[in-house]
């Protein structure tokens, strides 16, 4: 059966990722979004971050504190999982994780 995940989270104002990004207009950095997507993938598959590589990512729009985000993962081929993060209908981020081969450092 192909992997399919769905979940939601809020970009909380007290998230340390907002620190310094940016005074007066806080924006959640893209790396924090990728980290959330990878964490969900790890938990669902029982793997570790080092088992995956980020093959590509697109950051389509900024995320302000308090924004409710929906995240979906879909396996598109064995060992390749596409993720998408949305704020309602608005695409925030999308990308593809690829499973590292056992002999790849």
Residues serving a catalytic function are: 21
Alpha-carbon distances, residue 16 vs 29, 42, 61, 99 (angstroms): 11, 21, 20, 28
d(CA 32, CA 48): 17
**DSSP single-letter state for residue 61:** S
């Amino acid at each position: 059966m192909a992997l399919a995940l769905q979940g939601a989270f809020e970009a909380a104002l007290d998230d340390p990722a907002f620190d310094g990004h940016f005074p007066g207009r806080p924006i959640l950095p893209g790396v924090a979004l990728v980290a959330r997507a990878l964490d969900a993938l790890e938990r669902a598959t029982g793997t570790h971050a080092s088992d995956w590589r980020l093959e590509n990512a697109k950051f389509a729009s900024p995320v302000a504190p308090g924004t409710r985000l929906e995240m979906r993962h879909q396996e598109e081929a064995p060992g390749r999982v596409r993720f998408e993060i949305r704020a309602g209908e608005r695409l925030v981020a999308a990308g593809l994780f690829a499973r590292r081969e056992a002999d790849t450092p």
